[in-house]
Amino acid sequence: MSLKTFHLLFVAITTLLCVFVAVWGLNFATPSIADFAQKLGIAGIVGALIMPVYGVYFCGKIKKLSSDLES
């Protein structure tokens, strides 16, 4: 497995984890930890939005790096 493939797989798994944390924090948390869970859910949403953007950025950067090395 190449470093690029591992990196993209890691980004995908992290995105799924962020979605899970967001759903848990906003829907399934117990009332005794509601404030913390809500903040955790919001952080999960932010992470779930940022990670795919980073994945696209990484793909563009690795393509540019590959083309620079071939030249």
Q: What is the pLDDT of residues 25-69, one digit of tens each?
A: 988 878 888 889 999 999 999 999 999 999 999 999 999 988 887
Using CA atoms, how far residue 36 sits from 4, 31, 54, in Å, is: 35, 10, 26
pLDDT of residue 58: 94
pLDDT of residue 41: 94
Q: Is the pLDDT of residue 71 over 80?
A: no
- Contact in structure between 63 and 20 (CB atoms under 8 Å): no
